[in-house]
Amino acid sequence: MEASRLIYMANQIARNFAPMGVEQAALATADHIKMYWDPRMIAGIRAADAAELTPVAAHAIRLVDGPVPHMTRATEFAGAHADGAAHNDAG
Amino acid sequence: MGYEPQADFGTPASTSEKLVTLTIDGRSVTVPEGTSVMRAAAECGGDIPKLCATDSVKSFGSCRLCLVEVDGMRGTPASCTTPVMDGMTVHTQTPRLQKLRKGVMELYISDHPLDCLTCSDNGDCELQDNAAAVGLRDVRYGYNGDNHLGLEKDTSNPYFDFDPSKCIVCSRCVRACDEVQGTFALTIDGRGFGSKVSAGLATDDFLSSECVSCGACVQACPTATLQEKAMVEIGKPERAVVTTCAYCGVGCTFRAEMRGEQLVRMVPWKDGKANRGHSCVKGRFAWGYANHQDRITQPMIRKNVDDPWQVVSWDEAISYAASELKRIKAQHGARALGGITSSRCTNEETFLVQKLIRAGFGANNVDTCARVCHSPTGYGLKTTFGTSAGTQDFDSVMDSDVILIIGANPTDGHPVFASRMKRRLRQGAKLIVIDPRRTDMVKSPHIEAQHHLALQPGTNVAVLTAMAHVIVTEGLADEAFIRERCDWDEYQDWAAFVSQERNSPETLEPVTRVPAEELRGAARLFATGGNGAIYYGLGVTEHSQGSSTVMAIANLAMVTGNIGRRGVGVNPLRGQNNVQGACDMGSFPHELSGYRHISDVETRKLFEADWGVTLDSEPGLRIPNMLDAALDGSFRAIYIQGEDILQSDPNTHHVAAGLKAMECVIVQDLFLNETANYAHIFLPGSTFLEKDGTFTNAERRIQPVRKVMEPANGYADWEVTQLLANALDLGWTYTHPSQILDEIARLTPSFAGVSWPRLEREGSLQWPVKDETHEGSPIMHVDGFVRGKGKFVVTDYVPTDEKTGPRFPLLLTTGRILSQYNVGAQTRRTGNTAWHPEDLLEIHPTDAENRGLKDGDWVKLSSRTGETTLRATITERVAPGVVYTTFHHPATQANVVTTEYSDWATNCPEYKVTAVQITPSNGPTDWQEDYNSWSERSRRIVANLTAEAAE
Ligand code: SF4
Ligand code: SF4
Ligand code: SF4
Ligand code: FES
């Protein structure tokens, strides 16, 4: 897929997490990409020219391979709710 | 169900908890305090004659037909205006009353045409019924005196007639328009005998008046004065089936009143918990598209999109589709296949489409049109609260003290809910509107917003953060609530962020263009005015920071403690009828039904065991990504059920290029929509009248849709999906949608207690419904947030990259209007075109003058992506520098000019901000002309060749 578009998207995500600070924002961006991007998009951005990425986004792309904690928590899984409503995603 | 009108109790129900016991005609009856004697009598099976009372409006006491005698009370009080009292003894049928009532009836009838036998209301007329009930046999005054007979009929409204000669001036219509609809279009002109009902000015007919054609007056009218044209044409219905409107996310329920297989009229169902007996012009009247001549009822195929369509049998179409899908999968792998589920189809149909794609195609490339509307709601509310849905039921608004509407235009987008909201506002609730445009909510009869923050489009986050700044720095935060319910550390981080000077209304004023004092006033009102409820729409989500805005809204609700009880909450006003349901059913590429991520092993195992397949564990492509991937050859086949992405998605050129690059485009729809111009296989769809199933509305209410007629195309949409699945060897054996619903319940915890028999019994259920005994959840997060502690998220304002400049100095924002629906495929094929024959561009007088434009001129609307032409209307509803249009008509193709910028988190397109230029023009652009000729060519159909040869 067109690299410029993927780069634009990654930079945009990173920019919106920016207030978390560099390290956290990179983790959140990596988590977000893992959770919402199709594999060919991830492959596409890995192959793209990293110079176009902002520092946070570039760092995030390096993290995507490894285990990433669920930073945004929009992606927390069913059983994990603190209220014990196991497997009930909706409450 | 046979045909009997729903019972009319004469006056509205009382909500009082205190009970009163009285005796009516010797029967003891207990009712809430504040109930009228008339209603109490009706509730215990009695029937007091009445003309000017009906239970949708407050009683008026003008006809004097409902007189009763009360022991110890002098005279004969009107039962509709007399409240019950403890120990009262009432007589409703005495010789004295009979005589009085007969006299009243006689006067009415002497001024009424006696054409009962040929009147279209014959058998459905309360005047006729009451004349019979009081035993009127003969009219002493004769019919020769002064009367209103022979007055001219007003037939201007496309759906109902007004025949003043039959009017008994009971004012039920006027009260319905005021109280139920809140439009105040009707008045009673003149006095005494000369009085008559009129729609506004003397020169106005219904069509040119303020009337929005909701039909409340028609429903309230006891005679044939206000009556559906269809009743006149077809005759009286003989059966009624309760079903749910297929237009918008309010989810009104209706009685579809039928004569044989013919729909006569849709009457809002009084027991419907979403609409409480009300409706809008679309649901009540605009169903003519269902049998429109443009509807395609036979499958068609073609090798190439330049070829004409070829009508084929279902067998042929399905096996061709299956062979194409198999071929492409073999050559390019499963991930080259995908599909789009429809927010207009039922939950069951949506569930099946995503099942077909995941289990049959073998990929997670499934998305839904919520991508282009409310995907940020899902992301934002899940992050902050833990659930991807609104927190309240509609009734909750009646307990609100301050209503904040942001980026929504409920009178046009969600009219029936808007009527409810207006009723609450007339009772004294305060209103804050955040919208670049002066919508009807800002000022309309008897309603005026305390604060209208007319912000610069694209600055929602800045405005909401500035409001939070005021609340935190002025010490108005509800710290007790926050300590108990939210993560305190996260709150403190957030509070420190919003308190920064750069987030103050004064600092942000040049960006937002909202006067700082006005913004401070709004923030103070919201924080201190009592129960505060936030309602929002696509003006929030369709931005590059759509998800951030949703989270900023959630922050605002939490910081003021406005979550978890009646009258408060965060309420996304969902666009399409089943957009909530489509999202719930696993239509997004990264999650299975109930919002569970595809990478979660436990969840995947559950589905794999039930479906007997192995699922791909990686998220699939979203709609815009599918189109991008089509251009590089990695995505080649798509199955689109009931969506018109060419018209509804941004940057039409790009969508067209993506579709054109695909090898197999399967479109299932009622009509040859714009997307079908690029399709190879067309599978005819069915309407909501032709199938069983469920829709889920904006308040998470699951409601039954019931089949009232056979599908014109031969199959309900879920059956078509099943045919395709079985041609791909999936071996599905569903015989009724209730079995699909059982599967959904089995696999989705929030639906665990939902079943067809239960919906039949209870009418509707609001998810989560945890098990068979759980009654559902009208209000969410009551004792705690679903995610545990509410999460404050720092939402930093990031200006959009779509910027105005010398070439494109104006900002375009888009929206919808009442009488049309979305891309208009349905409403354009009904009488609703009387109100909106074309898309118009709203422009401020100053901007118009600078360009030498007059009202009604053709203008060219151009942006960095494209240009189109349409007609201008000059209005101060929009601020200088801002222009506005709708996107209901394909000839306009407003999306030719919208860009591909999108929400950072969800790729929801930024429809609401496009930098544009407006210039005078004298006709359609080249693109419009090219497109029209291409579209005509692409729609050619040749009949079945073999059949033709045989003739
Ligand atoms: S139009 Fe119908 S509802 Fe209105 S005043 Fe006349 S009879 Fe009554
Ligand atoms: S149709 Fe609705 S808006 Fe029009 S006059 Fe009747 S009640 Fe009022
Ligand atoms: S408000 Fe929406 S659901 Fe209700 S009748 Fe109108 S279009 Fe249908
Ligand atoms: S019904 Fe009571 S006065 Fe008309």
Question: For A23-38, how does the pLDDT look when each residue is reduced to its tens digit (9 = 90+)?
Answer: 889 999 999 999 999 9
pLDDT value of residue B895: 72
DSSP 8-state assignment for residue A51? G
Please name the residue of chain B whose CA is at the shortest distance from the CA of residue A5: B628
Atom of ligand 3 nearest to the CA of B284: 5
Contact A32 B750 (CB under 8 A): no
pLDDT value, residue B865: 83
Which residues in chain A are contacts of B365 at CB distance < 8 A?
Answer: 38
Neighbours of B157 (CB within 10 A): 24
**Pairwise CA distance, residues B389 & B377, whole Å:** 7
Question: Could you say which of B291, B310, B342 is where a domain stops?
Answer: B291
Radius of gyration of chain A (CA): 14
Range of the domain at A42: 3-67
Q: Are B423 and B447 in contact (CB under 8 A)?
A: no
Same domain (yes/no): B701, B596:
yes
Q: What is the pLDDT of residue B894?
A: 66
Q: Who contacts B937 (Cβ-Cβ below 8 Å, separation ≥6)?
A: B306
Give residue B784's pLDDT: 83
Q: What is the distance in A from the centroid of ligand 3 to the CA of B835?
A: 17
CB of B357 within 8 A of CB of B339?
A: yes
Tokens of B843: 């422009």
Mean pLDDT of the B483-490 span: 92
In sequence order, the 6+-apart residues with CB closer than 8 A to the CB of A21 are none
Among A50-64, B140-154, B246-260, B624-638, whose mean pLDDT is lowest? B140-154
Residue A56 clears pLDDT 50, i.e. is over it: yes
B534 and B605 fall within a common domain: no
* B453 and B514 co-located in one domain: yes
Distance B183 CA to ligand 2 centre (A): 7
Which atom of ligand 2 lies at the shortest distance from residue B216's CA? 7
pLDDT, tens only, B411-467? 888 999 999 999 999 999 999 999 998 888 898 888 899 999 999 989 999 999 999
Last residue of a domain, one of B259, B291, B323: B291
Instruction: Quote the mean pLDDT of chain B.
Output: 89
For residue B188, the domain's CATH number is 3.30.70.20
Helical H segments across B157-280, by residue range: 172-175, 216-220, 229-234
Name the residue among A2, A18, A75 with its Cβ closest to that of B628. Answer: A2
B603: tokens are 């969840």
Span of A17-26, B401-410, B907-916 with lowest mean pLDDT: B907-916
Q: Is residue A85 part of a domain?
A: no
Does residue A29 fall inside a structural domain? yes
In whole angstroms, give the CA distance from residue B778 to residue B184: 31
From B753's Cα to the closest Cα of chain A, the distance in A is 12
Name the burial class of residue B261, with classes exposed (0-12), middle (13-18) and buried (19+) by CB atoms within 10 angstroms of its CB. Answer: exposed
Cβ contact B196:B172 at 8 Å: no
Give the relative orientation of helices B717-727 and B314-332 as an angle to the nearest 10 degrees: 50
Q: Could you tell me the pLDDT band of residue B2, with boundaries at 50, 70 and 90?
A: low
Whether residue B553 has pLDDT greater than 70:
yes
Determine how many CB atoms are found less than 10 A away from the CB of residue B195. Answer: 15
Residue B112's nearest CA partner among B167, B161, B152 is B167
Q: pLDDT (tens digit, 9 = 90+) per residue, B732-780?
A: 999 999 999 999 999 999 999 999 999 999 999 999 998 888 888 988 8
Tell me what pLDDT residue B100 has.
92
Query: Which residues 386-405 on chain B approach chain A with CB closer than 8 angstroms?
Result: 386-387, 389
pLDDT exceeds cutoff 90 at B387:
no
Segment B680-738, tens digit of pLDDT: 999 999 999 999 999 999 999 999 999 999 999 999 999 999 999 999 999 999 999 99
Q: Over 80: is that where the pLDDT of B826 sits?
A: no
Residue A86 lies in a domain: no
Asked if the model's pLDDT at residue A72 lies above 60, the reply is no
Q: What H or E segment, with its residue span, contains residue B536?
A: strand B532-536
pLDDT at residue B796 tops 70? yes
Question: If contacts are CB pairs under 8 Å, which of residues 686-745 in chain B contact chain A?
Answer: none
Say yes or no: B326 and B398 in one domain: no
> Do B530 and B587 have their domain in common?
no
Are both B229 and B325 inside the same structural domain? no
Partner-chain contact B632 A79, CB within 8 Å: no
To test the contact with chain A by mutation, choose from B786, B791, B795 the residue with the greatest count of A C-beta atoms within 10 A, namely: B786
| Strand B840-843, strand B867-874: pairing | parallel
Shortest Cα–Cα distance, B615 to chain A (Å): 14
Are both B555 and B591 inside the same structural domain? no
**Count of structural domains within chain B:** 5
On whether residue B121 sits in a domain, the answer given is: no
Q: Is residue A21 a part of any domain in this protein?
A: yes
Question: Residue B592's pLDDT band (boundaries 50, 70, 90)?
Answer: very high
Res. B557: pLDDT tops 70: yes
Interface test with B, best of A12, A24, A45, A89 (most B CBs within 10 A): A89
Q: Is the pLDDT of residue B143 over 60?
A: no
Judge whether residue A73 has pLDDT over 50: no
Contacting B residues, span 786-805, partner chain A, CB-CB under 8 Å = 786-789, 791, 794, 796, 798
For residue B893, pLDDT over 90 is answered with: no
- A19 inside domain: yes
Predicted local confidence at residue B280, as pLDDT: 93
Cβ of B749 within 8 Å of Cβ of A40? The answer is no
Does the pLDDT of residue B819 top 70, yes or no?
no
Angstrom distance (rounded) from CA B179 to CA B173: 10
Q: Is residue A15 part of a domain?
A: yes
Please list, residue by residue across B746-777, b when 16 or more beta carbons sit within 10 angstroms of its beta carbon and e when fewer do: ebbbbbbbbbbebbeeebbbbbbbbeeeeebb
pLDDT in the model for residue B637:
96
- Asked whether residue B555 falls in the same domain as residue B590, the answer is no
**Confidence check: pLDDT of B213 > 60:** yes
- Counting atoms of ligand 1 from 1, which one is nearest the CA of B51? 8
Q: Report the share of chain B in percent with pLDDT over 70.
A: 95
Record the tokens describing residue B617, joined without a space. Answer: 């564990």
pLDDT of amino acid B825: 65
Q: pTM of the prediction?
A: 0.90
Write down the pLDDT at residue B215.
Answer: 93
pLDDT at A3 over 70: yes
Query: Does A90 sit within 8 Å of B786, measured CB to CB?
Result: yes
Residue B74: domain span? 19-93
Residues within 8 A of B (CB atoms), A 68-87 only: 72-79, 81-83, 85, 87
Q: Is the pLDDT at A88 greater than 60, yes or no?
A: no
Is residue B496 domain-shared with residue B613, that is, in the same domain? no
Residue A51 maps to a domain: yes
Radius of gyration of chain B (CA): 29
By the CB < 8 Å criterion, does A88 face chain B?
yes
**Closest listed residue to residue B441, CA positions, set B573, B311, B561:** B573
Ligand 3 pocket, B252 CB below 6 A? yes
Chain B residues touching residue A5 (CB < 8 angstroms): 628
Tokens 């201007």 label which residue?
B156
Tokens coding B190: 């003149």
Which residues form the pocket of ligand 4, taking CB atoms under 6 Å from any ligand atom?
A: B 50-53, 61-66, 78, 80
Residue recorded with tokens 């979660």: B600
Tokens of B362: 């073998």
pLDDT value at residue A74: 38
**B8: in domain:** no
Residues B685 and B645 in one domain: yes
Q: What is the pLDDT of residue B570?
A: 95
